[in-house]
Structure 1
Amino acid sequence: MVVPLPASRRARLLEILERDGAIRLESAAAELAVSVMTVRRDIQDLDADGLVRRVRGGAVSIVLPRVFGDRAMTRASAKNSVARKAEALVPSVGAVGVDASTTSGALLAIIRCERLLVVTNSVDNAAIARARPGVRAVLAGGEFEQQTGSLVGPTAEQTARSFAYDVFFTSASAVDAATGTMEVSLEEAAVKHAFAARARTTVVLADSSKLGQQALALALEWNVIDTLVTELDPSDDRLDPFRGLVEIL
C-alpha cells in the first residue's frame, strides 16, 4: 500500500474538510490509510499554517470573510438542500427579512409567492428576489462591505428595523450550541440582530459545516431563534447539541 507523502496527505485533508465540513481523526486516517497520530500531526501543521482550526477529535475551517460569489460556490449542494427544506416556511403573502448569505440566496431563487415583500442587506440577494414572480424587493442602504458584499452600518440597521417581518431568514458564519450564531464582524452581526428584533419568527439556514464552529462576533442567541434548518436528516447525531434549543428541520 502506498502511503501519501506529507504534502499530498495535507492537501487531501483539506479536500476532506471542503467535502465534509470537518476533518475527523479516525475517519480521515482510515480514508488515507495512515495512523490517527499521523493525521493529528498533519492537523497540527495545518493549524500552525493558519489553514484549519484544531478542535477535539479533528479540525474545522478557519472562518474568514469572503465575497458572495466565492461563498456561493462552497458546499452548493448542501445549501440547495437547506433551501428546499426551508421553502415551506416562506409565506406566500407578507414580508420577510433576508440576510446577505448565499444560503438565503439559494432559498430566494426557488420561492413562489403571490405578494411578498423581501427586505435584504445584500445587493446579490435583492437581485435574486426581484427576479421572482410576486416578489417586491427592498435593499437596505448602508456601507458596502467589500469582503462580504453586504451592506452594514447604522443605515442598514435602521432599514432592517423599519419593517415588521413574518420570518427572518439568516445563515451564519458559525453556529455554536453554547452561544448561538456568530459572524465574521460586529457590523454583520448588528444588522442580523436588527432584522431578528422585528421578526415574528427567525429561521437559521446553516449547512452542517457551520455547526460547532465559532467566529468573531455573536449575532443571535438561541432565545431569539425559532428554527434551525440544515441539509442533515433531523435525527443525525451531529444535531444532538442543538436539540431542546430550537425546532430542527
Structure 2
Amino acid sequence: MLTTERKALITERLRRDGRLVAKAFAEEMSLSEDTIRRDLREMAADGLLERVHGGALPVKPDLPDFAERRSVATDEKRRLGAKAASLVQAGQILFLDGGTTNAEIARALPRTFAFTVITHSPTIAAELEHHPTAEVILIGGRLYKHSMVAVGAVAAGAIAAIRPDIFFLGATGVHPRHGFSTGDFEEAAIKRQIAAQSANTYVALTAEKLDRASPVSIMPLEAATGVIVGADLYGEGLDMLESAGLEIILI
C-alpha cells in the first residue's frame, strides 16, 4: 500500500470515528505498527492531525471567542433562531443555553403570549431585557467566559430544581459516534444535566457543526428530541441525524 493511500485511510478514519488507535488500525490494515506511527508523525508535522499517546485525534480548530462567533453564519443563525422560537407555546418554561445561535432564538421569541425563559447565560438574559411577555430567570455560578455561561456547583444546584418544557441545547460538534459535544468538561456537565431534566431537547445546528467532534461529549444523538437544520442538508449529514431517530425540523 502506497504512503498516500495509507494517509488517506487515516484521514478518513479520523473523520469517521473522531480518533485512531495506531495498534488496532495497523492490525486491521495488516501493516506494521511502526509504519502507521511513522505516517502519524509525518501527518502531525504537516498539521493534518494531532498525535496522542497510542494514536491520533483530528486537529482541533482554534475556538473563536463569543464576540468573534457573532459574525459567523449570521443569516443561517437568524433563520434557525426563528424556526426554533416557533416551537414555543404559551405558558411553557424553556431553558436557553448560551451561544450565538441561541441568542438568535432569544431575539425571535414570540411577543404575543407569556412564557418563562431560564438561562445560565448573562448574554442571553440581556437579549430579553425588553421582551414584553417573557419572564426571565438567570442561573448564577462560575462564569465560563469563552461561552459566556455559568458552570460549576452553584449553577448545578440551581438547575437541579427546575423541569423545563423545552431545552435549546448549544453544541459545537455533532458526530455519529461521539454525539453532541463541546470544548469544556464543566460546560458539558451542565448541558447534560439540563437535558436530563427537560421534557424536550432541541438543537439548532449550523452546517459546519455536522460530522464534527469537539473534545468533550455532552450526550449521544439519541438523547435529544430533535434538531433544526437547513433544508439544503443532504447526504451523510442527514443520514446521521435520521438514523438516530431525531425529529428533523428544516428551515
Fold-level match, TM-score > 0.5? yes
Contact 1:95 1:117 in 2 (8 A): yes
CA displacement at 1:145 relative to structure 2: 1.4
What does the per-residue CA deviation read over 1:10-66, in whole Å, with 9 as the maximum and x for residues that have no partner?
Answer: xxxxxxxxxxxxxxxxxxxxxxxxxxxxxxxxxxx998576x869xxxxx9844444
**TM-score, structure 1 length as denominator?**
0.72
Gaps of 5+ in 2: 1-41, 51-57
SS in 2 for 1:103: helix
**TM-score, structure 2 length as denominator?**
0.72
RMSD: 2.6
What does the per-residue CA deviation read over 1:150-185, in whole Å, with 9 as the maximum and x for residues that have no partner?
Answer: 211111122222211110001211011223100100
The change in CA–CA distance for 1:204 and 1:62 in structure 2 (over 3 A counts) is: same
What does the per-residue CA deviation read over 1:113-155, in whole Å, with 9 as the maximum and x for residues that have no partner?
Answer: 4221111111100111232221011111110112222211111
CA displacement at 1:82 relative to structure 2: 1.1
- Higher mean C-alpha displacement, 107-116 vs 203-212: 107-116
Read off the aligned partner of 1:70 and give its amino acid letter: E
SS in 2 for 1:165: coil
Q: Does residue 1:248 correspond to 2:248, yes or no?
A: yes
Read off the aligned partner of 2:218 and give its amino acid letter: A
Q: Distance in 2 between matches of 1:129 and 1:150?
A: 16
Q: What corresponds to 2:185 in structure 1? A: 186
The change in CA–CA distance for 1:80 and 1:106 in structure 2 (over 3 A counts) is: same
Read off the aligned partner of 2:85 and give its amino acid letter: E
The change in CA–CA distance for 1:76 and 1:53 in structure 2 (over 3 A counts) is: farther
The change in CA–CA distance for 1:123 and 1:66 in structure 2 (over 3 A counts) is: farther
- Higher mean C-alpha displacement, 131-140 vs 183-192: 131-140
Gaps of 5+ in 1: 1-44, 55-59
Identity of aligned residues (%): 24
Q: What corresponds to 1:125 in structure 2? A: 124
Contact 1:208 1:232 in 2 (8 A): no
Q: Distance in 1 between matches of 2:132 and 2:153?
A: 31
Q: Distance in 1 between matches of 2:207 and 2:126?
A: 27
Structure with higher Rg: it is 2
Q: Distance in 2 between matches of 1:240 and 1:70?
A: 31
Contact 2:86 2:110 in 1 (8 A): no
Q: What corresponds to 1:197 in structure 2? A: 196
Read off the aligned partner of 2:216 and give its amino acid letter: A
The change in CA–CA distance for 1:47 and 1:208 in structure 2 (over 3 A counts) is: farther
Q: Does residue 1:108 correspond to 2:106, yes or no?
A: yes
Count of aligned pairs: 201
SS in 2 for 1:159: helix
Contact 2:202 2:228 in 1 (8 A): yes
Q: What corresponds to 1:176 in structure 2? A: 175
